[in-house]
A and B are shown apart, each in its own frame.
Chain A
Amino acid sequence: MATSFVPLHQINGCFTYPRPEIKYNRCHFRGRGLSPTPCPKYRLRPTNASVETPPFPLFQPPPLEESPSQLEPADPDFYKIGYVRSMRAYGIDFKEGPDGFGVYASKDVEPLRRARVIMEIPLELMLTIRQKLPWMFFPDIVPLGHPIFDIINSTNPETDWDLRLACLLLYALDRDDNFWQLYGDFLPSADECTSLLLATEDDLSLLQDPDLASTMRNQRRRALEFWEKNWHSGVPLKIKRLARDPERFIWAVSIAQSRCINMQVRIGALVQDANMLIPYADMLNHSFQPNCFLHWRFKDRMVEVMINAGQRIKKGEEMTIDYMSGQQNHLLMQRYGFSSSVLQNPWDVIPFSGNAHIHLDSFLSVFNISGLPGEYYHNSQLADKGNNFVNGAVIAAARTLPTWSDGDVPPIPSMERKAVKELQEECQQILAQFPTTSAEDQKLLDSMPEARRTLETAIKYRLHRKLFIEKVIEALDIYQECILF
């Protein structure tokens, strides 16, 4: 397979965009100038053709093997309802695949000096809440006079942002002239949403991650309590019709959690941290090597989705942004309901205990990983063309494996081997702690084509975890072999 074209990995804090910065992606171009694969490059060839990503619109980019015929263009109304309200999309198509919506380039884009806008969404279409008091809405959606206003008022803006957004979403879905009434038809419904909030108990138990399970349980309980408190039987009809049953409310909370975008937004003279539900930009999927980013245009109060400067895009390539950068898998899972497929999360962590340390520099050199510790990347100029082994998992390994590095002190091969062996044993132990192996998980996935989304997600999550650990073991093997060089 042709060598991959590697952009630098972007690290920003959480999925919050600092105010007027435009991030520039410095790419590394191959000498040949080819840009073969449009997808993020760190991945193993998947063992099967089925998608391992959850069908939520915020999902990992589909692997290359997915034939483009599976992606159908979305309903033309989807863009039309936005176009009428002065939202614009330039050079992209909204396509739907088995995993939900995705945004794909409809033409080639040369690497340019400036970031190109591919979507611009006006403020009027968004649902925004400020993260601090006094909270501000965009005037259209201020529920003044509606009792939902008091409900939102009673929440704590710092911690209950998802509940607030959920209330606002439900209210917007109820208002007759609101855009979200039209757009809500394109949001994932309750059975399509992969957020774990909607997962049942056995789904959670299938996670094989007790912490995450308990976290999700807490979240669900919290949402339920909120619903019970504010939607008890005595509430006026205006509120009652917003969420007649707790499932709808929890669906709204899951939508709010997974599609919320935190941006620093300047309106007028005020810079505010806003939680925003942005209509078309939330159809963008996540990637660890994104090619787009979000930008707030202060002049006419629009959110722009812009292609990274210097990024070459082929036709049909998926547009992706970075949701939460630098976070582990389980956080991604918790918030967005997906886990990093094909072992691409370079920030995953394995809790190693023990004293075994390997030499960092030699590990990095074996896999040709360069860059600062905060931004490791696979320097494919150094590696030979055929090496596809290194992907995000290896980079994550480089981060999580206990390493030592002491200037010019060379590693002692025997000690290194010992350390490697110890680490591998630890990994095996961790793997053994899981009730199932990865192969079994994979088989399980294959055997349930029509499983519930959350079930699928849960299984995928644990599968990925195991795969990650296996990958680490493999990487350590390779390291061990190359240690003498």
Chain B
Amino acid sequence: MSSLSVNFLCQERCATAGKTGYNHLQTSSIGYFPAGILQVRIGLNKVSKRANSFPCVKCEKKDEPIEHVSVERPPYYSYMDSTSGQLEPASGARASIPEEEYWPEGTASRVRAARAPEPTGTSAGSPSYGKSPGSRRKKYKTPAASQSSQVSIEPSETVVPEIVEDTVDDPKDSTLDYVIYQTEPKEDEETGYELDKKFGRPHPFIDPKVKKPMEEPLTSEELWWNWRKPEKEQWSRWQRRRPDVEMVFLKAMAETGQVKLYGEIPTLTETSLYRARRHLFKEERLKAEQERLERIGPMAYYSEWVKAWKRDTSREAIQKHFEETGEDENAQLIEMFSYQTDREYRIMMGTDVRIRRDPLAMRMREDQIKQIWGGDPVYPTVNYIQDPDEVIDYRGPDFHEPTPNMLAHLKEHGKIISREELEKILAKEKTEELEMTDIDDAMARAVDIGENEDDEEEDGEVDGEGGEEEKITRNWSVLKSTPQLRKSKAKPKKEEPMSLEEAVDDSENLTDFLMDFEEEE
């Protein structure tokens, strides 16, 4: 911009001044142009073309050599970028290397060591390689005698290296200056196998000189692919017994001394035995509890968990109380339970986590607990790793007992009854029912179902018969299930063609006669 203003100034001046002043101004104004600002130049050209009428304003001569801007790096390394307002490198290359303050530690010393100048100068003596220590020192005696001794020292110095030179080929340091070329190593003549090989004559594959004798083939024991039993019995960690609950518990019990094991780790047998025993003990205990409950009654049983209930809980006392107050057992139980505390309730129900349920489980060591229940769920423990081929044993403690006869077993426990008994029960049920629904005596008599009745009463009243038959008809389901009834009816029908009277007797109800006779026949 300043250059532009200068140009305009130049124009004005040129307009006013003569041609002679033009050159001076031109040169002076050319001096203002920085090398890289071409735009201004272009503007300048335009300006100058417009101002061509003033020959003194020509700012560019034809014969002036074109200023070639070479592809050199600009003289500045960085400039203030007008767009970003920050310092920017001129060529767009990488940013400058940071100062020494920013170097990582140790860099400064390495740089300094690398920059240290190499020592110049050659040495007069040569090393003795440990033979004569102190040989390369300048030996001074005293300053007074130094001049005299120097002369003597030098020849001794030269003497010493001469002696030393015999033992040493080259001073090692001088080899640093020179590169030693190795002469072509000459080969020994090849004979025999190598010659054959070189010329392509038939030769064994292996040089007989370097051939090693064949070793004995390995026995099958030694072969690596042979399946050998490893020294340890288990060749994989998966083969060890996975710690399941019972094993760990049994081990913990053995450690606390409740159980005696044969070895350290319980074997399968011991574990299954423990399982069986535990199951049986549990059953026994449960049975005992149940039996105790039945024996002493609920009040006495549950009063164990109601510490505040001090009254007598025997059956007699309950009975007495019932007689006195009319509260039966349930009401008394309710009252007793109202004395129960929360903690006792939780204990009774067995749902309190704060109360120790299994002292053995609480007392187990960390690793034992981890073996069964695993450790931290976020950071899994060894137990997390499961054996995919594991076969889990679901067999119960009575695995080895024969399969019981379910029917007899159920029958024994009263869970099943036979069909006859069922029929009996049902019959009993049905009989009772008909007893309840008799209306009059005649009906009462007629209710008595049975084939005796039908056979006896030939001139039975129609009502009665009807009633009887009605009854039978109403209980047709009974008829279906009791084949005897049906049989009693069906038998006389089939025997012979009946007389009218017999037909009347035999007819189930009077409606038979009312019905179409075609059906009868």
Partner of A187, one of B109, B125, B127, B134: B134
Count of chain A residues near B, Cβ 8 A: 51
A243-268 vs B: 1/0 string, CB under 8 Å? Answer: 00000000100000000000000000
**CB-CB < 8 A to B118: which residues of A?**
83
Count of chain B residues near A, Cβ 8 A: 37
Given contacts A83-B116, A185-B125, A189-B134, 6 further A-B contacts (CB under 8 A): A51-B143, A76-B121, A77-B127, A90-B116, A98-B142, A450-B141
Question: Chain A's nearest CB lies how many Å from the CB of B477?
Answer: 99
Task: Tell whether A182 is near chain B: CB-to-CB under 8 Å.
Answer: yes
- Please state if B136 and A186 are interface contacts (CB–CB under 8 Å): yes
Give the distance in Å from the alpha carbon of A182 to the alpha carbon of B146 in the complex.
Answer: 26
Give the distance in Å from the alpha carbon of A72 to the alpha carbon of B172 in the complex.
Answer: 24
- Please state if B140 and A99 are interface contacts (CB–CB under 8 Å): yes
Task: Tell whether B180 is near chain A: CB-to-CB under 8 Å.
Answer: no
Task: Tell whether B106 is near chain A: CB-to-CB under 8 Å.
Answer: yes
Within 8 A of B (CB), among A58-105: 66, 70, 72, 74-81, 83-84, 86, 88-90, 96-101
Within 8 A of B (CB), among A286-317: 297, 299-300
- Please state if B130 and A76 are interface contacts (CB–CB under 8 Å): no
**CB-CB < 8 A to B127: which residues of A?**
77, 81, 181-182, 185
- Please state if B143 and A450 are interface contacts (CB–CB under 8 Å): no
Task: Tell whether A176 is near chain B: CB-to-CB under 8 Å.
Answer: yes
**CB-CB < 8 A to B120: which residues of A?**
76
Give the distance in Å from the alpha carbon of A86 to the alpha carbon of B139 in the complex.
Answer: 28
B98-113 vs A: 1/0 string, CB under 8 Å? Answer: 0000000110011011
Question: Chain A's nearest CB lies how many Å from the CB of B197?
Answer: 39
Known: A186-B137, A188-B134. A75 touches B125 (CB 8 A): yes
Within 8 A of B (CB), among A37-58: 49-51, 55
**From DSSP, what is the main secondary structure of chain B's interface residues?**
loop
Give the distance in Å from the alpha carbon of A83 to the alpha carbon of B176 in the complex.
Answer: 12
**CB-CB < 8 A to B144: which residues of A?**
50, 449
- The 18 sampled A-B contact pairs (Cβ below 8 Å) are A76-B122, A77-B173, A83-B116, A86-B113, A96-B138, A120-B113, A173-B130, A173-B133, A178-B130, A182-B127, A185-B127, A185-B128, A192-B137, A192-B139, A251-B133, A300-B110, A449-B145, A450-B142
**CB-CB < 8 A to B515: which residues of A?**
none
Question: Chain A's nearest CB lies how many Å from the CB of B159?
Answer: 15
Give the distance in Å from the alpha carbon of A51 to the alpha carbon of B141 in the complex.
Answer: 11
Q: Which 3 A-B pairs have the closest CB atoms?
A: A189-B134, A76-B121, A173-B130
With most chain B CB atoms within 10 A of its CB, the pick from A80, A89, A101, A178 is A80
A175-202 vs B: 1/0 string, CB under 8 Å? Answer: 0101011101111111010000000000
**CB-CB < 8 A to A97: which residues of B?**
140
Task: Tell whether B391 is near chain A: CB-to-CB under 8 Å.
Answer: no
Partner of A186, one of B134, B141, B145: B134
Give the distance in Å from the alpha carbon of A167 to the alpha carbon of B176 in the complex.
Answer: 30
- Please state if A75 and B134 are interface contacts (CB–CB under 8 Å): no
- Please state if A185 and B138 are interface contacts (CB–CB under 8 Å): no
Task: Tell whether A206 is near chain B: CB-to-CB under 8 Å.
Answer: no
A67's nearest neighbour on chain B, judged by CB, is B143
**CB-CB < 8 A to A81: which residues of B?**
127, 173
Task: Tell whether A423 is near chain B: CB-to-CB under 8 Å.
Answer: no
- Please state if B119 and A76 are interface contacts (CB–CB under 8 Å): yes
- Please state if A449 and B125 are interface contacts (CB–CB under 8 Å): no
Partner of A185, one of B105, B109, B136, B143: B136
A86's nearest neighbour on chain B, judged by CB, is B113
Give the distance in Å from the alpha carbon of A80 to the alpha carbon of B144 in the complex.
Answer: 31
Partner of B143, one of A50, A101, A174: A50
**CB-CB < 8 A to A192: which residues of B?**
134, 137, 139
Question: Chain B's nearest CB lies how many Å from the CB of A217?
Answer: 24
Question: Chain B's nearest CB lies how many Å from the CB of A366?
Answer: 38
Task: Tell whether A117 is near chain B: CB-to-CB under 8 Å.
Answer: yes
- Please state if A79 and B119 are interface contacts (CB–CB under 8 Å): yes
**CB-CB < 8 A to A84: which residues of B?**
173, 176
Known: A90-B112, A300-B106. A187 touches B123 (CB 8 A): no
**CB-CB < 8 A to A190: which residues of B?**
134
- Please state if B130 and A75 are interface contacts (CB–CB under 8 Å): no
A178's nearest neighbour on chain B, judged by CB, is B130
A242's nearest neighbour on chain B, judged by CB, is B130
Task: Tell whether B54 is near chain A: CB-to-CB under 8 Å.
Answer: no
- Please state if A88 and B116 are interface contacts (CB–CB under 8 Å): yes
Question: Chain B's nearest CB lies how many Å from the CB of A235?
Answer: 19
Give the distance in Å from the alpha carbon of A172 to the alpha carbon of B129 in the complex.
Answer: 10
Give the distance in Å from the alpha carbon of A51 to the alpha carbon of B133 in the complex.
Answer: 24
